[in-house]
Amino acid sequence: MSKTAVITGATTGIGAAYAKRLATEGFDLIVTGRRREIIQKLADDLIAQHGVKVNVIIAELSDDNDFKKVVDAIRATEDIEMLINNAGYSGYTQHFVETDMAEHEKMVKVHQIVPMRLISIVAPAMIKHGSGAIINVCSLIAFLPLPSWSVYAGTKAFLKCYSECIYQEFRDKGIRVQALCPGFTRTDFAKNYYSKERYEQTESKVKRMIMSPEKVVDYSLKSLKKDKFICIPGISNKAMCKLFLSLPMGIYCGLVKRMTPFKP
């Protein structure tokens, strides 16, 4: 019997790495992205290399009409075995009050509303079949609030907590749930967020901690098999998270100011 994985934000980075990995395991795919040429090439390569079916949906998930295309594709598929909520809204290098509220709301929609809606669609069938997996791609920032990342960090913290809750709801129904919380990862996300100069400065400081998307996905899927619902890839990321959470707030605030794109 065929099996299908839905991956949002699969054009490049972590989403594309999931697509490549799952295609090698025989999954058919429903993938979403915004850059047609890049994601279509990915799909064509996977079809040619692994003989799987790949349904590409070009969609801006904050747009209801585009989101409906994704919903329609899922509802037309009976064998959804895995949902990976990876689509992200990269943010903006401004304070909360300096950013248009519409931008904040788009981020909330992509990081919170869209994953909840997709889970509400796929979960009933997974429960009926007694199997399935849901991975919500959060961030290490879900544990570590940063200035200038207020809404981003807040939405990822929500997604992490939400994932923990549905893990408890679904664990006796055969559905595995994971909150993936990667740290510095070599993707287009940081390049789009930081200026070129700041990105290069940041990369040089944390180069030993930067992980490839493929390594993050490897950690994720190994943890999923072990039913670990919080996955922080990399020993350095785990150690940094534990250290920062143990600091007094005054010291913590002084340190994290250096991690933002500008001084608040």
Across the chain, which has 264 residues, the per-10-residue mean pLDDT values are 92 96 97 96 97 97 96 94 92 76 93 98 96 96 86 95 97 96 78 57 60 95 95 92 89 77 48
The Cα–Cα gap between 33 and 146 comes to 27
For position 260, what pLDDT does the model report? 62
Domains and CATH numbers, the chain: 4-259 (3.40.50.720)
For position 205, what pLDDT does the model report? 53
For position 96, what pLDDT does the model report? 84
Question: Is the CB of residue 184 less than 8 Å from the CB of residue 190?
Answer: yes
Please count the other Cβ atoms lying within 10 Å of the Cβ belonging to residue 177.
25
For position 55, what pLDDT does the model report? 98
For residue 257, what is the DSSP state?
G
The Cα–Cα gap between 49 and 81 comes to 21
For position 264, what pLDDT does the model report? 44
The Cα–Cα gap between 178 and 34 comes to 25
How many Cα atoms are found within 13 Å in the side-chain-facing hemisphere of 95?
5
Ordered alpha helix ranges (H), the chain: 13-24, 36-50, 64-75, 101-108, 114-129, 150-170, 188-193, 196-205, 213-225, 235-246, 249-256
Nearest residue to 111 via CA among 143, 151, 75, 170 = 151
Could you tell me the pTM of the whole model? 0.91
For position 185, what pLDDT does the model report? 85
For position 263, what pLDDT does the model report? 47
The Cα–Cα gap between 182 and 144 comes to 12
For residue 174, what is the DSSP state?
T
For position 1, what pLDDT does the model report? 62
Give the distance between the most distant pair of CA atoms in the chain.
56
Nearest residue to 257 via CA among 131, 118, 147, 93 = 147
Question: Is the CB of residue 240 less than 8 Å from the CB of residue 183?
Answer: yes
For position 32, what pLDDT does the model report? 98
The Cα–Cα gap between 12 and 34 comes to 10
